[in-house]
């Protein structure tokens, strides 16, 4: 869809005093993205000729967030209210006929709702169309005063409610469509008649209605879409709804999610059919999961790429790593960044892997650290194997071939190579390359002393007998002394 006569204006200059934060309000996150990004994305489907973001508080950081998303920013300094913010944006709007105006703190709005708002504005030939919602608890929002079933006479801000107006449960979403030629003269008449001395965009709506211009209300089908985030509690509620929608979308795509309310999924995550996500899992960043995978309880995946039939056992962490078909990791595995585990690899409990490539069918099942390693296929890494990849200055590589066998509790001091089919004897500290098919053994030779243990026990027994006797005697003397 392309609407060349339309511009989008996002009001994002406010500080967000009620959040009690050093971060500008619109940069707070909900549903895995900053609020302002959520709003810009929702508007993309409108095909407007431009998207203008009015910035003020922490303008540099807000600009750095919105401009890469294709928006143009306009500085409002100081901030004299939502109506003033529109006046500041005027020049940037050029000759656009219509503007969809949104606050930067209501991120749940959906593209379909915005398209419908524009369509009804056009068909009613309105000066302003206000997206409203009917809610159980209207506190904190401007209330809609109706003229008729479709027309609005005014929007009254919470602080200016009179008499029984507080009971009105139709609220202003602060999302509007304006015919700009009508808006500017109306806005010029608005006075800062409120305790904050601000020019309210909401008051322009009353001016238009009083002049007899067409001001209509469009009631949002789902009132949750217009939730504004002024407080941390609002943010938590909006985040919860985003997460809920994301989980439902994945379930619709054929993913099983157990106890869904305990599972946190970022917006860009995808997962294939018949994958099962157990309770308490987090799927973050650009994680991509194939079909028939299982991610068990308490695991955290971020920017992980899982092919098909992968199992992540309970309480594992997988970051920025690629796991090919049939890989099994965990429980309690930690895959840090830059790993590639090829088909059928098994990484077991308390195994940490970093910047390593592990070949098909290779196993590292217990208590191991593999860092900067390149390991071939069908190799066995014994329990407690450590790649000593860091000498205090530089990271060094460990290269292990195919079908090698690293005995338990070995330390491989990098840079080092273990050839195809080679063995490393358990408990070795390997500092020299082990050739293919060879055995590397580097440990103290064992010596057995016959009869040593029983001799030791006899010595212990006679020593402790002597001790008891002296103790008895000394107790006797102390009693006497006390008397």
Active site residues per annotation = 366
From 195, 196, 160, 158, select the one nearest 174 (Cα to Cα): 158
**CB atoms closer than 10 angstroms to residue 451:** 7
Q: Which is nearer to Mg ion, 105 or 360 (CB)?
A: 105
| Distance, CA of 442 to chain centre | 46
Residue facing Mg ion at closest CB distance: 228
> Residue 272, interface with Mg ion (CB under 5 A)?
no
Paired tokens of 113: 């709702």
Residue found by looking up tokens 């939730």 in the block:
227
Which phi and psi angles does 339 have, rounded to 5°?
-100, 150
Residue 104 or 371 with smaller CB distance to ligand UD1: 104
The option from ligand UD1, Mg ion, none interacting with 33 (CB < 5 to 8 A, set by class) reads none
What pairs with residue 276 in β-bridges?
Answer: 256, 294
Indicate the DSSP class of residue 151: B
Beta bridge partners of 130: 176, 217
Using CB under 6 A, list all residues that contact ligand UD1: 11-14, 25-26, 54, 56, 76, 79-82, 84-85, 103-106, 141-142, 155, 157, 171-174, 200-202, 228, 230
Nearest distance in Å: CB 121, ligand UD1: 18
Of 230, 256, 258, 429, the one binding Mg ion (CB under 5 A) is 230
Q: With binding defined as CB under 5 A, does residue 169 bind Mg ion? A: no
- Which is closer to ligand UD1, CB of 217 or CB of 416? 217
Q: Is the dihedral of CA 130, 136, 140, 144 positive or negative?
A: positive
Which residue number, 62 or 434, has a Cβ lying nearer to ligand UD1?
A: 62
Among 56, 228, 326, 440, interactor with Mg ion by CB under 5 A: 228
In whole angstroms, the minimum distance from the beta carbon of 150 to ligand UD1 comes to 19
CB-CB neighbours of 446 under 10 Å: 5
Q: Which stretch of DSSP H or E encloses residue 146?
A: strand 143-146
* 86: Cα separation from own chain's centroid: 32
Q: Which does 85 bind (CB under 5 to 8 A by kind): Mg ion, ligand UD1, none?
A: ligand UD1
Token output for 100: 């969809």
Residue 429, φ and ψ in degrees, nearest 5? -105, 105
Taking contact as CB under 5 A, which single stretch among the options 48-56, 80-88, 227-235, 244-252 is the one that binds Mg ion? 227-235
Which residue of 105, 198, 234, 303 would you call a contact of Mg ion, by CB under 5 A? 105
Residue 106 binds which of Mg ion, ligand UD1, none (CB < 5-8 A, kind-dependent): ligand UD1
Least Å distance, CB 153 to ligand UD1, is 15
């Amino acid at each position: 869809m392309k609407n060349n006569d339309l511009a989008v204006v996002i009001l994002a200059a406010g500080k967000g005093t009620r959040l009690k934060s050093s971060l500008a309000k619109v940069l707070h996150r909900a549903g895995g993205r900053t609020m302002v990004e959520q709003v810009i994305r929702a508007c993309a489907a409108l095909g407007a000729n431009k998207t203008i973001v009015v910035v003020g508080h922490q303008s540099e950081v807000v600009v750095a967030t919105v401009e890469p998303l294709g928006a143009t920013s306009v500085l409002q300094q100081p901030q004299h209210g939502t109506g003033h913010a529109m006046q500041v944006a005027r020049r940037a709007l050029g000759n656009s006929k219509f503007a969809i105006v949104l606050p930067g703190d209501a991120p749940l709005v959906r593209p379909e709702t915005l398209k419908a708002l524009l369509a009804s504005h056009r068909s009613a030939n309105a000066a302003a169309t206000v997206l409203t919602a009917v809610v159980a608890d209207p506190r904190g929002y401007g209330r809609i005063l109706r003229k008729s079933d479709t027309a609005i006479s005014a929007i009254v801000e919470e602080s200016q409610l009179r008499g029984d107006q507080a009971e009105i449960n139709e609220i202003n979403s602060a999302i509007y469509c304006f015919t700009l030629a009508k808006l500017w003269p109306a806005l010029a008449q608005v006075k800062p008649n409120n305790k904050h001395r601000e020019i309210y965009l909401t008051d322009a709506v009353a001016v238009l209605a009083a002049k007899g211009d067409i001001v209509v209300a469009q009631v949002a089908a789902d009132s949750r879409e217009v939730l504004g985030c002024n407080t941390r509690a609002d943010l938590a509620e909006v985040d919860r709804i985003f997460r809920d929608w994301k989980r439902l979308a994945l379930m619709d795509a054929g993913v099983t999610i157990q106890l869904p309310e305990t599972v946190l999924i970022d917006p860009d995550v995808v997962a294939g059919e018949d994958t099962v996500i157990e309770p308490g899992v987090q799927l973050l960043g650009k994680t991509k999961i194939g079909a028939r995978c299982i991610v068990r309880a308490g695991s955290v995946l971020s920017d992980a790429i899982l092919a098909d039939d992968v199992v992540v056992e309970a309480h594992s962490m997988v970051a920025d790593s690629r796991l090919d078909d049939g890989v099994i990791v965990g429980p309690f595995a930690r895959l840090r960044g830059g790993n590639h585990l090829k088909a059928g690899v098994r990484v077991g409990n308390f195994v940490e892997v970093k910047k390593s490539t592990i070949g098909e069918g290779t196993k590292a099942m217990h208590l191991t650290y593999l860092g900067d390693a390149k390991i071939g296929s069908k190799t066995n890494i014994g329990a407690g194997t450590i790649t000593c990849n860091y000498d205090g200055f530089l990271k060094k590589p460990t290269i292990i071939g195919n079908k090698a066998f690293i005995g338990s509790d070995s330390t491989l001091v990098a840079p080092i190579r273990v050839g195809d089919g080679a063995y490393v004897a358990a408990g070795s500290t390997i500092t020299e390359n082990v050739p293919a098919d060879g055995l590397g053994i580097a440990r103290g030779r064992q010596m057995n002393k016959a009869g040593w243990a029983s001799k030791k026990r006899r010595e212990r027994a006679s020593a402790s007998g002597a001790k008891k006797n002296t103790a008895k005697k000394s107790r006797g003397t102390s009693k006497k002394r006390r008397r």
